[in-house]
Amino acid sequence: MTDWSRLTSRLTQRQQQQLIRQRNTVETAQSAEIISNGEKLLNFCSNDYLGLANHPQVITALQQAAVEYGVGSGASHLVSGHSKLHHELEEALAEFTGRQRALLFSTGYMANVGVISALVEKGDVVLQDKLNHASLIDGGLLSGARFTRYLHNDLASLTQKLQQHQTGQQLIVTDGVFSMDGDIAPLTDIATVAKQHSAWLMVDDAHGFGCLGPNGEGSVTEAGLAAEDIPILVGTFGKALGTSGAFVAGDEVLIESLIQFARPYIYTTAMPPAIAAATLASLKLVQTENWRREKLQRNISQFRSGASHLGLQLMESVTAIQPIVVGDAEAALMLSQQLKAQGILVTAIRPPTVPVGTSRLRITLSASHSEQQVNQLLESLEQACKQFKTTSSRLN
Ligand SMILES: *Cc1c(COP(=O)(O)O)cnc(C)c1O
Chain segment 147-201, per-residue pLDDT in tens: 999 999 999 999 999 999 998 999 999 999 999 999 999 999 999 999 999 999 9
- pLDDT for res 365: 98
Rounded Cα gap, residues 86 and 88, in angstroms: 6
Rounded Cα gap, residues 95 and 232, in angstroms: 15
- pLDDT for res 267: 98
**Of 14-18, 108-112, 248-252, 389-393, where does mean pLDDT reach its minimum?**
389-393
Mutate to test the pocket of ligand 1, among 107, 109, 128, 364 (most ligand atoms within 8 A of CB): 109
- Phi first, then psi: give them for residue 263, nearest 5 degrees: -60, -40
Banded pLDDT at 361 (limits 50, 70, 90): very high
In this prediction the pTM is: 0.96
**108 assigned to a ligand binding site:** yes
pLDDT surpasses 80 at 95: yes
Banded pLDDT at 20 (limits 50, 70, 90): confident
Q: What angle do CA 245, 46, 12 make, to 5 degrees?
A: 95
CATH number of 24-49+290-395: 3.90.1150.10
Report residue 43 CA to chain centroid gap.
17
* C-alpha distance from residue 14 to each of 325, 336, 388 (Å): 21, 18, 23
**265 assigned to a ligand binding site:** no
DSSP state of 23: P
Q: Are 200 and 168 in contact (CB under 8 A)?
A: no
What number is the average pLDDT over the span 35-58? 97
> Is the CB of residue 279 below 6 angstroms from any atom belonging to ligand 1?
no
239 catalytic per annotation: yes
Which one, of 117, 125, 132, 172, lies nearest residue 147 by Cα?
125
Rounded Cα gap, residues 219 and 187, in angstroms: 8
* C-alpha distance from residue 10 to each of 2, 13, 329 (Å): 16, 5, 17
**109 assigned to a ligand binding site:** yes
Alpha-carbon Rg for the chain in angstroms = 22
Rounded Cα gap, residues 270 and 262, in angstroms: 14
Name the CATH architecture for the domain at 56-288.
3-Layer(aba) Sandwich (3.40)
Please name the residue ranges forming H helices in the chain.
5-16, 56-69, 84-97, 108-119, 134-143, 155-164, 187-196, 219-222, 252-261, 263-266, 273-288, 290-309, 329-341, 371-395
Rounded Cα gap, residues 172 and 132, in angstroms: 11
- pLDDT for res 22: 86
List own/partner pairs for 193-196 with CB under 8 A and 24 or more apart: 193/155, 193/158, 193/159, 193/162, 195/229
Rounded Cα gap, residues 72 and 275, in angstroms: 10
Domain residue ranges of the chain, discontinuous segments joined by +: 24-49+290-395, 56-288
- Cβ count within 10 A of residue 66: 16
pLDDT surpasses 70 at 258: yes
- Cβ count within 10 A of residue 21: 10
Banded pLDDT at 16 (limits 50, 70, 90): very high
* Higher pLDDT among residues 392 and 7, named by residue: 7
What number is the average pLDDT over the span 248-260? 98
> Is the CB of residue 359 below 6 angstroms from any atom belonging to ligand 1?
no
pLDDT surpasses 60 at 82: yes
- pLDDT for res 80: 97
pLDDT surpasses 90 at 250: yes
- pLDDT for res 394: 65
Rounded Cα gap, residues 363 and 176, in angstroms: 18
DSSP code per residue over 327-341: ESHHHHHHHHHHHHH
**207 assigned to a ligand binding site:** yes
- pLDDT for res 387: 86
Q: Do 24-49+290-395 and 56-288 fold alike per CATH?
A: no
- pLDDT for res 297: 98
Considering the candidates 239, 295, 340, 369, report the single residue annotated as catalytic. Answer: 239
> Is the CB of residue 203 below 6 angstroms from any atom belonging to ligand 1?
no
Chain segment 267-325, per-residue pLDDT in tens: 999 999 999 999 999 999 999 999 999 999 999 999 999 999 999 999 999 999 999 99
Report residue 237 CA to chain centroid gap.
9
User: Percent of the chain at pLDDT above 90?
Assistant: 94
> Is the CB of residue 175 below 6 angstroms from any atom belonging to ligand 1?
yes
Q: Which residues pair with 177 in a beta bridge?
A: 184
Rounded Cα gap, residues 32 and 345, in angstroms: 10
> Is the CB of residue 109 below 6 angstroms from any atom belonging to ligand 1?
yes
179 catalytic per annotation: yes
- pLDDT for res 24: 87
Rounded Cα gap, residues 42 and 28, in angstroms: 12
Residue type, 212: L
Banded pLDDT at 89 (limits 50, 70, 90): very high
